[in-house]
Structure 1
């Protein structure tokens, strides 16, 4: 059970946390390689072999999450391709229930994502989750990915919060480690970011598969 009386600000990741990561995994691991193969006359297997090291080299950097960067690199209309797959965008079970409970408690609620604004807009349009948040922050606004320490300082400077009374829920262990190093007190991981993948065994941070696990002790009006 989380120490809700001590938590005043809730920071939530989007992809793999609120939303099923299956959309993004399928997009980057299958759909983009397919379209890249078609563009260059490659087999799908050869396309994947070419793209894998290029993607790997950018992990943890802002470019990895940037549709503009990869659109230029791959000569593909990635925003358009995401629209083609938009039917796969899905909210994890009980997320809406959790968001309503946090809002009802009066706590400050921020969406903090590495997603590019183009992808973010599409997902908010499809899910309507934006209505729950006091503000929505993309790491592209600061030019730093959440894996980088500078992001958290920039976030705190612009959206003032106390580290000792802040909760971050994120599926990325690298992001959680970065937030931990910055001093954010309450950290929770998501053990099954992709509904079509097995549950992950996570020992480094408290982990939940179902958002209902975080709701005990979340009292309406308590954060007012």
Structure 2
């Protein structure tokens, strides 16, 4: 169980996909559904389309284009949002997320969603999950033109939110992104090791980590932030 000094944490920055929402939807969409749609459009085999997309993803992984629906719509000449809607029934919130978010807000901490997801994808997921009812501020890094993997994003986010890094916790399922937050000076980081409910847990080596927010609830309640 992750042991965090909650009495020192005023602001909690949270990723969305794999951290608050089940990553199963995204994995199914990008790894299976989109190659199938691309195959239908081009008349090629699903396997060849899968291989082409795998290479295309690798070319921009970690860059804003990787997360940009407009980029993929243009590159593949497909209506990405229409394709996402076909699979939207798979968009689900983690079973432990709401209790975690509500405990954070009830303890008077500021709760901010910071996602690399495209604004249209964020809107769709909010519509399906009502995640916005449990979070103070929703931010897509697209508004800053750079994703969380880069220090420039953290500088822009810091200027925008005016948070204190030494009293901030950042939660994400990607170790590279957690590393970037730590490099910027975020004092506390927490990795999520079960982003996709249908897959085995992942490994996060260099950060505190958990696969169950329920384990954190009592300590959040018992340790209010002390300015």
Q: How high is the TM-score relative to the length of structure 1?
A: 0.97
SS at match of 1:125: helix
Shift of 1:221: 9.3
Could you report, residue by residue, the CA deviation over 1:186-224 in whole angstroms, capped at 9, with x for unpaired residues?
000000101111111322111111111222321279348
RMSD value, Cα: 1.3
Deviates more, 1:130-139 or 1:110-119: 130-139
Aligned partner of 1:194 in structure 2 is 196
SS at match of 1:207: strand
1: CA distance, partners of 2:36 / 2:115:
27
Residue 178 (1) aligns with residue 167 (2): no
Structure 1 contact 111–137 (Cα < 8 Å) conserved:
yes
Shift of 1:120: 0.1
Residue 167 (1) aligns with residue 169 (2): yes
Aligned partner of 1:9 in structure 2 is 11
Q: How high is the TM-score relative to the length of structure 2?
A: 0.96
1:91-170 paired onto structure 2 within 5 Å: 91-170=93-172
Could you report, residue by residue, the CA deviation over 1:94-114 in whole angstroms, capped at 9, with x for unpaired residues?
110011100100000100000
SS at match of 2:219: coil
SS at match of 1:216: helix
Among 50, 53, 63, the alignment partner of 1:48 is 50
2: CA distance, partners of 1:214 / 1:170:
15
Shift of 1:136: 0.7
Could you report, residue by residue, the CA deviation over 1:130-181 in whole angstroms, capped at 9, with x for unpaired residues?
0122211111010000000000000000110000000000001111010010
Q: Which residues of structure 2 form unaligned runs of 5+?
A: none
2: CA distance, partners of 1:206 / 1:223:
20
SS at match of 1:110: strand
SS at match of 2:218: coil
* Distance change >3 Å, CA 106–CA 221, structure 1 → 2: farther
Structure 1 contact 188–206 (Cα < 8 Å) conserved:
yes
2: CA distance, partners of 1:216 / 1:160:
28
Deviates more, 1:98-107 or 1:210-219: 210-219
Aligned residues: 224
Shift of 1:2: 1.3
